[in-house]
Amino acid sequence: MQPPPSSVTPAKAGVPPFSPLESEPRGTPASAGVTAGRGNEVSSAAAPESKSYRAVVLAMLLLVYTFNFIDRQIIGVLAIPIKTELGLSDTQLGALGGLAFALFYTALGIPIAWAADRRSRTWIMTVSLALWSAFTALCGVAGNFWQLFLCRLGVGVGEAGGVAPAYALISDYFPRESRARALAFYSFGIPIGSALGIFLGGWIASSVDWRTAFLTVGLAGVVLAPLFRLVVREPMRGRYDPPAARTEPAALGEVMATLARKPAFWLLAFGASSSSTVGYGLIFWLPSFFGRSFGLKLFDLSLFYGSIIFIGGMVGVWCGGWLGDRLGSRDPKYYALVPASAFVIAVPLYVAGVMAPAKELAFLLFLVPQALALMWLGPVLSAIQHLVPPNMRATASASFLFINNLIGIGFGTLFFGLVSDALAARFGDQSLRYAILIGLGFYLIAAALLALASRHLAKDWHR
């Protein structure tokens, strides 16, 4: 599964510490066996780190990604007391959950990833973690809609540098044959973080108030940032790629020109973003749906829905990564066909769950489609890494995230709120139920786009 473990070459005496504001030093060419580093981060290019250290790195990346989604999704369960205290409409709540976060998150993602292809990815992630955590804490002192909107903008600014550099780091710590599983493990941060955001948010808000919930999770992330920086070293770029692929960072225009010639990239990106329209919308709105439709109190619904996300999400993410590695090694088309099939199966199960007359039945019906809905993460993210050479991966990942998050987060959460408000005159408190049913159609669009992508993957694969 992985190359044999080997030791890390100690840093040479007298090597000055590396500043995150400087270009990453490259030293001798990759073929010479020396990779650049900063102080204690100089490592052997010819020999990868031990399995145990790679496991530690992946665990740290998972922890940071978990905080990413705690801070991103906690507002979903806190929307209920926020709506009551600040007197907000569903449209305003949708803007806080999606548009406010997505504006700068998407706009800054590509330039930050461009920097990550040139400078220290670990430093970029450290600063990003501290920044988004601080703004999450500031959400707890907001006094009106616009103050909360600006704080959510700040969370988006910080999180813009938290994901694409991590994808690139994983690609340099894990070889191709285990990369989809490593990315799937990293993607556990989505269900774990989303579930913890709902669990902790509901528990703290019901025990104290919603403001304390923001302050608690935000300050915890600020504490984590320096620990991440101390533990995770910068690996050699393109370690598991052919020597010819280890080139200087590509210009942004060169990356865009490469992606323009690869229809698989665009079909994967728009397919994933269509699914994220529903996925982010459901994560934000289902707590409110369970509260309105089944009369669940804040703490009870946080346990109820948090369990669905955690159990279903963990199973789905891992199964998607396992199937992606197993089938994708035979033919790259399965990196797209596995999630496309999952989306088609998920739709009728979600419909049954939304229309369920009792919360116990809804719980069982939501578990399976929640798993199916997240099976795309490992296969699609792995495919994106294989469509470009290593010196373009962070920028290509950010381009993918730009499309996925601008549409998925920016439009999805707001879409459900707008439709719910539009249907409120006719359906009252049940308007959110029908808004969700309408939104499920985006899963079918996602399946169609991914099926088309499967026809192009073999041709567009970078070799």
Contact 313, 377 (CB under 8 A): no
- 238 Ramachandran zone, left/alpha/beta (phi>0; psi -120 to 50): left
Mean pLDDT (the chain, rounded) = 83
pLDDT at 241: 66
Taking each helix axis from N to C terminus, what angle separates 298-328 and 263-294, rounded to the nearest 10 degrees?
Answer: 160
Query: What is the reported pTM?
Result: 0.73
| Rounded distance between C-alpha atoms, residue 400 and residue 394, angstroms | 10
pLDDT at 385: 84
First-residue to last-residue Cα distance in the chain: 20
* Structure tokens, 452: 């088309």
pLDDT at 243: 62
Buried-state track 224-255, b at ≥16 Cβ within 10 A, e below 16:
bbeebbeebbbbbbbbbbeeebbeebbebeeb
- Give the model confidence (pLDDT) of 45-61 as tens digits: 445 577 889 899 999 99
Buried-state track 102-123, b at ≥16 Cβ within 10 A, e below 16:
bbbbbebbbebbbbbbbbbbbb
- Report the candidate in 59, 3, 57, 33 with the shortest Cα–Cα distance to residue 240: 3
Contact 147, 86 (CB under 8 A): no
| Rounded distance between C-alpha atoms, residue 102 and residue 62, angstroms | 22
Q: Which residues contact 312 (CB under 8 A, 6 or more apart)?
A: 191, 366, 367, 368, 369, 370, 371, 374
Taking each helix axis from N to C terminus, what angle separates 431-439 and 263-294, rounded to the nearest 10 degrees?
Answer: 160
Domains, the chain, with CATH or none: 49-233+250-460 (1.20.1250.20)
Residue stretches of the chain with pLDDT short of 70: 1-48, 239-247, 463
- Report the candidate in 44, 41, 33, 69 with the shortest Cα–Cα distance to residue 57: 41
* Structure tokens, 85: 């205290």
DSSP code per residue over 181-241: HHHHHHHTHHHHHHHHHHHHHHHHHHHS-HHHHHHHHHHHHHHHHHHHHHHPPPPPTTTTS
Contact 73, 279 (CB under 8 A): no
- CB count, 10 Å around CB of 363? 17
